[in-house]
């Protein structure tokens, strides 16, 4: 059997991808600082250091650009969680710990933490953005948590099926962390790590956890 060698990107392909990523990075910065409504494509291409026409080689319009920014932000996070979810023997508490750790590292500690704030702030004015975020982020996240909770409940790790019925409960402290750190941190720091650890104990108390094999 002849195995085809892996595709190597040409310099032209690499340059094209670099321009696309530069636009995405600049768009995130502009959207965060100005909001979706006020953000101008002229400002984004200027910050990215590309010609104005270049943006239309990769994105249809401002909304498409915003959606691709969101996908780029949450895609790796969901990919990591999907890999964890495939580990059928992993205890539920370990899954929660990995989820919260990924959230702190990949979202809260980066500019990506401002994306949910943008949705909260402008979702009523731009319901298509809220619908997109619900479809691409909220629904897959809840489905993943529901599956993990169902498996844990069937194995006896969760005495109650509350998290199966309401997987949004696992997201609650992450949402609080996003709102608090962007609004109230100058007045009172929130110990996010301790908040998430405490929430894990509430959802999966030590006495209810299945021993790790």
Task: Name the token pair of 121.
Answer: 């702030």
Task: Name the token pair of 193.
Answer: 């790590």
Cα 28 to Cα 43: distance, rounded to the nearest angstrom:
12
Q: Which residue has the tokens 């909770």?
A: 149
* Fold for the domain defined by 60-208: Tetracycline Repressor; domain 2 (1.10.357)
At residue 79, φ and ψ (nearest 5 deg) are -65, -45
Cα 66 to Cα 70: distance, rounded to the nearest angstrom:
6
Q: How far lies 28's CA from each of 35, 69, 112, 120, 153, in Å? A: 10, 7, 8, 16, 39
49: left (phi over 0), alpha (psi -120 to 50) or beta: left
Cα 203 to Cα 160: distance, rounded to the nearest angstrom:
9
pLDDT by residue, tens only, the chain of 213 residues: 455 555 566 888 888 889 999 999 999 999 988 999 999 999 999 999 998 889 999 999 999 999 999 988 888 777 777 777 777 788 889 888 988 998 899 889 988 888 888 898 888 999 999 999 999 889 988 998 999 999 999 988 888 899 999 999 998 999 999 999 988 999 999 999 999 999 998 887 665 555 544
Q: Any residues with CB less than 8 A from the CB of 52 and at least 6 apart, and which? A: 41, 42, 45
| Amino acid 206: pLDDT | 64
Go through the chain and tell me how many residues it has.
Answer: 213
Task: Tell me the pTM.
Answer: 0.82
Superfamily, domain 11-59: Homeodomain-like (1.10.10.60)
152-158: Cβ within 8 A, 24+ apart: 152/92, 152/95, 152/204, 152/210, 155/92, 155/210, 156/210, 157/91, 157/92, 157/93, 157/204, 157/208, 157/209, 157/210, 158/92, 158/203, 158/204, 158/208
| Amino acid 64: pLDDT | 95
Domain locations in the chain as residue ranges: 11-59, 60-208
- Rounded CA Rg of the chain: 20
| Amino acid 212: pLDDT | 47
């Amino acid at each position: 059997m002849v195995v085809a060698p892996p595709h190597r990107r040409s310099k032209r392909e690499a340059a094209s991808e670099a321009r696309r990523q530069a636009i995405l990075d600049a768009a995130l910065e502009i959207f965060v600082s100005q909001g979706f409504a006020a953000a101008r494509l002229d400002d984004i291409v200027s910050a990215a250091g590309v010609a104005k026409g270049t943006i239309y080689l990769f994105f249809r319009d401002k909304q498409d650009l915003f959606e691709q920014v969101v996908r780029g932000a949450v895609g790796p996070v969901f990919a990591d969680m999907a890999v964890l979810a495939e580990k059928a023997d992993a205890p539920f508490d370990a899954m929660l710990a990995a989820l919260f750790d990924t959230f702190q590292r990949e979202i809260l500690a980066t500019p990506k933490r401002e994306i949910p704030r943008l949705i909260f702030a402008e979702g009523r004015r731009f319901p298509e953005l809220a619908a997109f975020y619900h479809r691409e982020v909220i629904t897959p996240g809840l489905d993943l948590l529901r599956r993990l909770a169902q498996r844990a409940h069937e194995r006896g790790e969760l005495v109650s099926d509350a998290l199966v019925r309401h997987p949004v409960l696992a997201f609650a402290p992450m949402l609080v962390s996003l709102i608090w750190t962007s609004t109230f941190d100058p007045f009172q720091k929130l110990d996010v790590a301790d908040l998430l650890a405490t929430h894990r104990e509430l959802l999966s108390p030590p006495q209810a956890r299945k021993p790790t094999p």
